Structures are given as structure tokens and as C-alpha cells.
Amino acid sequence: MGIKSFSRARAIHVMLVYTGGCNGCDIEIVNSILSPRFDAEQYNVFLTWNPREADVLVVTGPVTHLNRKPLEAIYEAIPNPKLVVAAGSCALMGGVYKNCYGDIPSEEIEGPVENIIPVNAKVPGCAVRPQDVLAGVVSLLPTLLDAD
């Protein structure tokens, strides 16, 4: 284990980007990372809002048209190695919003997240359960720590 991995293993920083879902997953995730009940900090997982600090990007919501550029910019700003967790059925397949105009694809929804940035782990659920999000983030840790 290199010195980078050694220090990274003690502070995994997760950044949450919210791209236009219904807010349910979003609050569940902020709860799971922030709240003392699920307490992600016991696994050395911390919440950050600065992409330069982040190791794992958690994306929720179907990516709406106006959210595409911010999401790409945030992904670019994260230093390597970076991993992406798509959380919630909107992020995985566009949810109920994707095919909102019947057979005609919606112009508002650019998602799922896979179309825009590469995704490493998928957490299903509507809304996601905090335990699942924690499991998703923790399952990525070996990949992150073996990166260099």
C-alpha cells in the first residue's frame, strides 16, 4: 500500500450531486452520511461539498437538461482516482420521468447517469435506503485503495 492509499483509507470523501430527482434519495443519502444513526464516519467515509477533495461521487436523480453541464464539470474537477455511485432508480434508468411523453423521448431528461459519466456502482431503490448507499460506497473502497 502506497502512502497515498494509506492516507486515503483513513478519509474517504464522498460528494453528493443532485440532478433533479424528487429529493427523496438526496435526503436519505445526506442522512446516511450525516446522521448519527447510520454514521458513515465509522467506516472513515466523510461528506464533502468540494469536488477537489472528493474521492467518490454519488449521483442521484435523472439528469435534467440544465444539470448536465454542472455534472460534467464536477466530474472533471475530481482528481484521479475517482469513482461514481449512481443511487436511486432515476439515476439508474431515468425513473418515472424518462419516458414522460410516451414513445417520444423527453427533451428534459438527459439521463440515466451512465449516458453522461462512467458509473462504477449502482444502488437501486426508490427511494434508496441509507444502508444500501453505505454498502455501495463501501463496496467501492477496495477499487479506490488499489488504484495506486
Partner 1 sequence: MDKKVPRSNIIETEIPMGTVHPAALEPYRVRFFVEDEIVQEAEITIGVNHRGIERIMEGLPVEKANALTEKICGICSNSHIWNSCRTAEMGLGIEIPQRALYIRVIMGELERLHSHFLYLAHGCEVLSHETFSMRVFYLREIVMELLAMIGGNRVQYGCSVLGGVRPRCDLDEAKLLRLKNDMDAVEEGLTGFVERFLADSVVQSRITGIGVLPQKQAIELAVTGPTLRATGVARDLRTTMFEYDEFDFNVITQPDGDVKSNLVMRALESFESIRIIRQAIANIPEGKVVNRDWEMVDTDISESYIEVPRGTLYHSYALESGRVRHCIIRTPSMANIGAMQYACIGDQITDAQLCIVQCDPCFTCTDRAIEIIRR
Place of cell 439515476: 91
| Nearer Cβ to partner 1 (66/135) | 66
> Which residues ranging from 8 to 67 are in contact with partner 1 (CB under 8 A)?
16-28, 30-31, 34-37, 49-50, 62, 64, 66-67
Please identify, among the stretches 5-13, 79-87, 101-109, 114-122, the one whose residues bind partner 1 according to the rule CB under 8 A: 101-109
Give the separation between CA 30 and CA 109, rounded to whole angstroms: 24
- Write out the DSSP string of 34-69: HSTTT-GGGGTEEEES-TTT-SEEEEES--BGGGHH
Task: Single out the residue of 108, 114, 120, 124 in contact with partner 1 (rule: CB under 8 A).
Answer: 108
SS3 77: helix
Give contact residues for partner 1 (rule: CB under 8 A): 16-28, 30-31, 34-37, 49-50, 62, 64, 66-67, 70, 74, 95-97, 100-101, 106-109, 126-127, 129-130
